[in-house]
A = this chain, B = another copy of it.
């Protein structure tokens, strides 16, 4: 076992990875502890339950990704380019993971939400929170695009939710078909739905 100060970090990292590559239900506290080289006493010192660990792990992953999203969705970037870059990030990120493990993993939040939303309220709320944060990036980009007359949309918030739904739906199809190429045209598809031309990234 490593230093206690690393134990929590290892639990978060291992839990996120195991749940994303398999599912919440298939991963036991025993397996997480074993892989993280942490004993069960330490686990329960840090987390009251597997659900609490999952929520913390998924929040930690989001926080790690946030600087990247903040850069992609920076107001310094032309608004449609933000959305285009986000689409490319999704494709390349999924491709990288699929190349590593031979399986398209889909969106970690969508998969956890799809599996657990009727069963654990705090897990559902975490998925909901992350969805709302992602939509906020899109909404802001779309509001800027509307003001700059790059898109002809009425309600940036509603449009953001629709675009987010398309992306989640295609990520799900990519996972279910185990074919990352479902996401190759994500960017032109999204731009077409916005009535905008594809953006060179």
Stretch at the interface among A60-68, A76-84, A113-121: A113-121
The reply to whether the CB of A25 lies closer than 8 angstroms to some CB of chain B is yes
Partner of A173, one of B116, B119, B168, B170: B168
Given A23-B25, A193-B193, A118 and B175 contact (CB-CB distance below 8 Å): yes
Given A24-B25, A193-B162: A175 in contact with B131 (beta carbons within 8 A): no
Question: Among B25, B113, B189, which residue has its beta carbon within 8 angstroms of that of A26?
Answer: B25
- Chain A: residues with Cβ within 8 Å of the partner, total of 41
> How many copies of the shown chain assemble into the complex?
2
State the main secondary structure of chain A at its contact with B. Answer: helix
Contact A162:B172 (CB < 8 A) given known A26-B119, A115-B115: no
CB neighbours of A189 from chain B (8 A): 162
- Docked CA distance A21–B116 (Å): 10
Chain B residues whose C-beta falls within 8 Å of the C-beta of A110 in the assembled complex: 114, 172, 176
Contacts of A85 in B (CB 8 A): none
Q: Which of A69-126 contact B (CB under 8 A)?
A: 101, 103-106, 110-111, 113-119, 124
Q: A161 interface residue, CB < 8 Å from B?
A: yes
Known A114-B110, A124-B176, A193-B193; contact A23-B165, beta-carbon cutoff 8 A: no
